[in-house]
């Protein structure tokens, strides 16, 4: 009788263990599938299309095909004074460079400067805000990625919950560059003040346009674009 009792207990125990393992695997797989789908929706990739998603805050680069994450790599991104360019870009130049660019270079079509994805001779910087705006990878990783993408591959760079504004409005000063500068340029153009190129560079033309707008609105003349200026220009943050 005791023998059968112990057998029943053992069967129940193994059944519970098997169920928990199986259940956790299903949960993990379901989460992984959802996570891949969520990432792919950010890029809206076709089933056979390959793209790169870079999450600045996470310090991760995702290689995605359709709704499947093929590879995930740790990265380093730009310092606060030289941020990695948020937006949707395209790889336009591939090369095998050494030195500070490590093993490989994949240049992006960012209009306000030379930015790309490359290797590094400072592997200790991976995981930090350490570059002049480029995306750094470990050399073994960038060599692998280099072989998996081509010129024309789309690259989406995100830096927070507010799209082109990353983690929120930053104060802009002459000389600053970025997608947020482009948005202010476009808004001043819509209002009839800015006549220059929408290039993401806060230069003299943009400053003159801003000052003209401030003068006509009876606002203090300043070249500093703060949250108050964004709001008066009716530029809003959207999740």
| Distances 141 to 61, 157, 164, 228 between C-alpha atoms, Å | 10, 18, 27, 43
Contacts of 87 (CB under 8 A, 6+ apart): 110, 156, 157, 164, 179
Buried b (16+ CB within 10 A) or exposed e, 122-135: eeeebeebbbebbb
What whole-number distance in Å separates Cα of residue 66 and Cα of residue 153? 13
The DSSP output letter for 172 is B
What whole-number distance in Å separates Cα of residue 61 and Cα of residue 73? 5
**Which is nearest to 127 in space by CA: 80, 75, 53?**
75
Give me the count of residues in the chain.
239
Residues tagged active-site: 118, 134
The distance from CA 187 to its chain's CA centroid, rounded to whole angstroms, is 23
Residue position matching structure tokens 């482009």: 182
What count of Cα atoms within 13 Å lies in the side-chain half-sphere of residue 36? 17
């Amino acid at each position: 009788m005791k023998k059968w009792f112990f057998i029943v207990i053992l069967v129940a125990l193994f059944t519970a263990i098997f169920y928990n393992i199986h259940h956790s695997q299903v949960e993990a797989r379901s989460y992984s599938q959802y996570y891949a789908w969520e990432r792919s929706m950010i890029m809206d990739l076709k089933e056979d299309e390959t793209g790169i998603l870079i999450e600045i805050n996470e310090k991760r680069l995702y290689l995605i095909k359709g709704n499947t994450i093929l590879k995930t790599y740790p990265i380093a991104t730009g310092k606060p004074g030289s941020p990695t360019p948020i937006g949707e870009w395209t790889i336009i130049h591939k090369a095998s460079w050494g030195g500070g660019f490590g093993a490989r270079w994949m240049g992006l079509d960012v209009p306000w400067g030379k930015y790309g994805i490359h290797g590094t001779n400072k592997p200790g910087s991976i995981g930090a805000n350490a570059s002049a705006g480029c995306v750094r990878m470990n050399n073994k990783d960038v060599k692998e990625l280099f072989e998996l993408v081509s010129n024309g591959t789309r690259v989406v760079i995100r830096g927070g919950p507010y799209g082109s504004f990353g983690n929120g409005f930053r104060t802009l000063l002459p000389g600053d560059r970025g997608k947020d500068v482009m948005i202010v340029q476009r808004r001043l153009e819509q209002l009839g003040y800015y006549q220059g190129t929408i290039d993401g560079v806060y230069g003299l033309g943009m400053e003159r346009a801003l000052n003209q707008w401030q003068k006509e609105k009876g606002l203090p003349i300043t070249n500093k674009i703060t949250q108050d200026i964004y709001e008066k220009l009716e530029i809003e943050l959207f999740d």
